[in-house]
Amino acid sequence: MIRAFFLLGTALAVGTSAMAQEQPHAAHTMPAPQSPQEQPAHDMSAMDVEKAASQDRAKDSAAQSGEMSAMDHAAMGHGTMAMDSAIPETAPPPEAFENPGFAADAFVGADVMAASRAEVIGEIRGPKVFWVQGDRLEYRARQGEDGYLFDLQGYYGGDLNKLWFKAEGEGAFGEDIESAELQALYSRAIAPFFDVQLGVKQDLTGPERTHLAVGIQGLVPYEFEVDAAAFLSTKGDLTARIEGELDQRITQRLILQPRAELSLAAQDIPELGVGAGLDSVELGVRLRYEFAREFAPYIGVDQEWKLGGSADFARLAGEDPSVTNYVVGIRFWF
Amino acid sequence: MSALSRRSFLSSSTGAVAATGLLTAMPAWARGAVSGTVARKGSDVLSGEHLTMSVADTLFTTGSRRGPGVAVNGTIPGPLVRLKEGQNLVVDLVNNSTHGTSIHWHGLLVPFLMDGVPGVSMAAVEPGETYRYEFPIRQSGTYWWHAHTLQEPLGHYGPLIIDPVEPEPHQYDRDYVVMLSDWSEMSPHEIMKKLKVADGYFNYNQTTWTDDYDMSGEDRRMWARMRMMPTDISDVSGATYTFLVNGHGPEDGLEYLFRPGERVRLRFINGSAMTYFNVRIPGTAMTVIQADGQNVQPVETDEFQIGVAETYDVIVEPTALAHAIVAESTDRSGMGVAMLTSRPGAKAPVPALRKPPLLTMADMGMGGMDHSAHGGGDTMGGDMSGEAAMAGGAMTMRDTSRLPETVKVGPGLDMVSANPVDRMDYPGLGLEDVGHRVLDYSQLVSHKPHAEVRQPTRLKTLHLTGNMHRYMWSFDGEKFSAVTEPIRFAYNERVRVKLVNDTMMAHPIHLHGHFFELVNGAAPDRQPKKHTLTVQPGSSAQFDLTADERGDWAFHCHLFYHMHNGMFQVVTVRPLAGGGAK
Ligand SMILES: [Cu+2]
What percent of chain B has pLDDT above 70?
A: 88
Domains B45-167 and B168-357 share a fold: yes
Q: Is the pLDDT of residue A68 over 60?
A: no
Residue B364 pLDDT = 82
The Cα B323–Cα B325 span in angstroms is 6
User: Which residues of chain A have a CB within 8 Å of the CB of B109?
Assistant: 50
Q: Which of B193, B564, B575 sits opposite A98 (nearest CB)?
A: B575
DSSP assignment string, B123-159:
--B-TT-EEEEEEE----EEEEEE-SSTTGGGT-EEE
Task: Say how many Å lie between the CA of residue B566 and the centre of ligand 1.
Answer: 9
The Cα B314–Cα B291 span in angstroms is 9
User: Which residues of chain A have a CB within 8 Å of the CB of B552?
Assistant: 102-104
Mean per-residue pLDDT for B112-131? Answer: 96
Interval A230-271: pLDDT, tens: 999 999 999 999 999 999 999 999 999 999 999 999 999 998
The Cα B578–Cα B211 span in angstroms is 61
Interval A167-198: pLDDT, tens: 999 999 988 999 999 999 999 999 999 999 99
Number of domains forming the structure of chain A: 1
Residue A203 pLDDT = 95
User: Which residues of chain B have a CB within 8 Å of the CB of A47?
Assistant: 136, 582
The total of other beta-carbon atoms located within 10 Å of residue B333's CB is 23
Interval B102-115: pLDDT, tens: 999 999 999 999 99
Q: Which of B428, B420, B462, B466 is nearest to B562 (CA)?
A: B466
What percent of chain A has pLDDT above 90?
A: 66
CA of B59: how far to CAs of B37, B183, B248, B483, in Å?
6, 12, 14, 36
The CATH class of B45-167 is mainly beta
Residue B549 pLDDT = 96
Residue A44 C-alpha, separation from nearest chain B C-alpha, in angstroms: 6
| Span of A222-231, B238-247, B406-415, B491-500 with lowest mean pLDDT | B406-415
Place B443 in a pLDDT band, splitting at 50, 70 and 90.
very high
Alpha helix (H) residue ranges in B123-271: 188-197, 217-226
Place B466 in a pLDDT band, splitting at 50, 70 and 90.
very high
Place B194 in a pLDDT band, splitting at 50, 70 and 90.
very high
Place A84 in a pLDDT band, splitting at 50, 70 and 90.
very low
- A225: closest chain B residue by CA: B227
Q: Is the pLDDT of residue A316 over 60?
A: yes
Residue B514 C-alpha, separation from nearest chain A C-alpha, in angstroms: 12
* CA-based radius of gyration for chain B: 23
Task: Say how many Å lie between the CA of residue A222 and the centre of ligand 1.
Answer: 26
Residue A278 pLDDT = 94
| Domain at A202, CATH number | 2.40.160.40
Q: Is the pLDDT of residue B237 over 50?
A: yes
Chain B contacts in chain A segment 35-64 (CB below 8 A): 35, 37-39, 41-47, 49-50, 53, 56-58, 60-61, 64
Residue B418 pLDDT = 87
Helix (H), strand (E) at residue B296: strand B294-301
Residue A41 DSSP symbol: P
The end-to-end CA distance of chain A, in Å, is 33
Highest-pLDDT range among A96-100, A124-128, B239-243: B239-243
Pairing between β-strand A322-333 and β-strand A129-141 as defined by DSSP bridges = antiparallel
User: Which residues of chain B have a CB within 8 Å of the CB of A41?
Assistant: 491, 575, 577
User: Which residues of chain A have a CB within 8 Å of the CB of B457?
Assistant: 35, 37, 87
Place B376 in a pLDDT band, splitting at 50, 70 and 90.
very low
Task: Say how many Å lie between the CA of residue B559 and the centre of ligand 1.
Answer: 5
In a domain, A266, yes or no: yes
Task: Say how many Å lie between the CA of residue B315 and the centre of ligand 1.
Answer: 30
The Cα B347–Cα B255 span in angstroms is 9
Establish if A30 touches chain B: CB-CB under 8 angstroms.
no
Contact present, B417 and B539 (Cβ < 8 Å):
yes
Q: Which amino acid is at B47?
A: S
Residue A215 C-alpha, separation from nearest chain B C-alpha, in angstroms: 17
Q: Is the pLDDT of residue B554 over 90?
A: yes
Q: Which of B539, B490, B496 is nearest to B518 (CA)?
A: B496
Q: What is the CATH number of domain B168-357?
A: 2.60.40.420
Residue B119 pLDDT = 95
Burial class (CB in 10 A: 0-12, 13-18, 19+), B139: middle
Q: What is the pTM of this model?
A: 0.85
Mean per-residue pLDDT for A283-287? Answer: 98
The Cα B326–Cα B345 span in angstroms is 17
The Cα A11–Cα A26 span in angstroms is 28
Residue B44 DSSP symbol: -
Q: Which of B153, B228, B157, B147 is nearest to B190 (CA)?
A: B153
Domain ranges of chain B: 45-167, 168-357, 400-574
Detail the DSSP E strand segments found in chain A: 129-141, 147-157, 161-172, 177-191, 194-203, 209-220, 224-233, 238-245, 248-249, 254-265, 277-289, 295-306, 322-333
Interval B168-177: pLDDT, tens: 999 999 999 9
Residue A61 pLDDT = 37
The total of other beta-carbon atoms located within 10 Å of residue B23's CB is 16
Establish if A292 touches chain B: CB-CB under 8 angstroms.
no
- Residue-averaged pLDDT of chain B: 89
In a domain, A278, yes or no: yes
Place A313 in a pLDDT band, splitting at 50, 70 and 90.
very high
Who's near A262: CB < 8 A, 6+ residues apart?
Answer: A241, A242, A243, A278, A280, A281, A282
DSSP assignment string, A152-175:
EEEEEE-SSEEEEEEEEEEEETTS
Cross-chain residue pair B453–A193, CB shorter than 8 Å: no
Residue A19 pLDDT = 34
Q: Which of B504, B102, B64, B472 is nearest to B252 (CA)?
A: B64
Judge if the upstream peptide bond of residue B77 is cis by omega within 30 degrees of 0. yes
| Span of A59-63, A323-327, B180-184, B238-242 with lowest mean pLDDT | A59-63
CA angle B415, B418, B421 (to 5 degrees): 115
Interval B348-370: pLDDT, tens: 999 999 999 999 877 888 765 54
Handedness of CA B113, B114, B120, B124 (dihedral sign): positive
The CATH class of B400-574 is mainly beta
Which residues span the domain enclosing A209? 129-333
Helix (H), strand (E) at residue A7: helix A2-20
| Span of A13-22, A107-116, B225-234 with lowest mean pLDDT | A13-22
User: Which residues of chain B have a CB within 8 Å of the CB of A94?
Assistant: 490
Q: Is the pLDDT of residue B433 over 50?
A: yes
In a domain, A244, yes or no: yes
The Cα B397–Cα B542 span in angstroms is 23
Contact pairs from chain A to chain B, CB under 8 Å: 293
Interior/surface letters A168-196, b for 16+ CB within 10 angstroms, e for the rest: bbbbeeeeeeeebbebebebbbbbbbbbb
Helix, strand or coil, per DSSP, at residue B7 = helix
Size of chain B in residues: 582
Q: Is the pLDDT of residue A35 over 80?
A: no
Residue B446 DSSP symbol: B
Q: Is the pLDDT of residue B344 over 80?
A: yes
The total of other beta-carbon atoms located within 10 Å of residue B251's CB is 10
Mean per-residue pLDDT for B19-28? Answer: 38
In a domain, A153, yes or no: yes
Interval B287-337: pLDDT, tens: 999 999 999 999 999 999 999 999 999 999 999 999 999 999 999 999 999
The Cα B363–Cα A81 span in angstroms is 19
Contact present, B111 and B551 (Cβ < 8 Å):
yes
